[in-house]
Structure 1
């Protein structure tokens, strides 16, 4: 399928599909005329990319994890479980930092009478 067809099938814009390609997440083949042609499973790959992005994973991690997803859903091969756990720990750390920053800002505003 061509890029416009993939965009229509997934609801993801052409520019974003090109970005996924630039990031190594989506790999089309090229026609002799240079047009992108995507495999039949490309819509599933795009759905997986979207789900992983929504989970807060950076594209560099998605690039490593994506080949380890099996089936029609999000069954992740055990070889990447550790990497995903590390991402979850990092998110927890950032959330704790944000809570502390929020507390500090709230204290500043309270001291100012707001």
Structure 2
């Protein structure tokens, strides 16, 4: 089968197939003129590669797992690879959850600001002035600061 046929049947682009070839995930035969040809089983292999990529496995890990999958047998090495990927994905999920929680806190603060979180709600940037002078003359002096913000 030619590259376009495999791409169509597997639901991927020809560019994706070339990428899989570059990464050692797919090995087509070549005609005398250099065109790629694939066995019919390549469609199933490409779909498997797509599933593993969707699961979050990098192509280098998939390349290591494919021989075990093709042999139809698990091994301690394969299980170790899968466990390491699961742990990596779990750590990434924890990081994403922490980021989401931080965003939730910022959204809550933005909707309900308090003086603790918003400097503008603390002491006003300037104090109100009063007309006071010791000698009886009118003078502008700042009033004593208050701890309560004025609205």
Q: Could you say which TM-score interval applies, normalised by the shorter chain?
A: 0.7 to 0.9
| Alignment of 1:77 onto 2:81 | no
- Counting only pairs closer than 5 Å after superposition, residues 18-37 of structure 1 correspond to structure 2 as 18-37=18-37
- Structure 1 consecutive aligned stretches of length 4 or more whose deviation exceeds 6 Å: none
TM-score (norm 1): 0.87
TM-score (norm 2): 0.67
Distance of 1:68 and 1:100 partners within structure 2: 36
| Alignment of 1:44 onto 2:44 | yes
Distance of 1:70 and 1:33 partners within structure 2: 29
Structure 1 match to 2:9: 9
Cα distance, 1:64 vs. partner? 0.8
Structure 1 match to 2:98: 100
Q: Which has the higher helix share?
A: 1
Structure 2 match to 1:113: 111
Gapped runs of 5+ residues in structure 2?
113-151
CA deviations on 1:36-82 (whole Å, 9 max, x unpaired) are 011232112111101111111011111111121047xxx66223011
Larger radius of gyration: 2
Cα distance, 1:19 vs. partner? 1.2
- Alignment length, in residue pairs? 111
Structure with more relative contact order (C-alpha pairs < 8 Å, separation 6 or more): 1
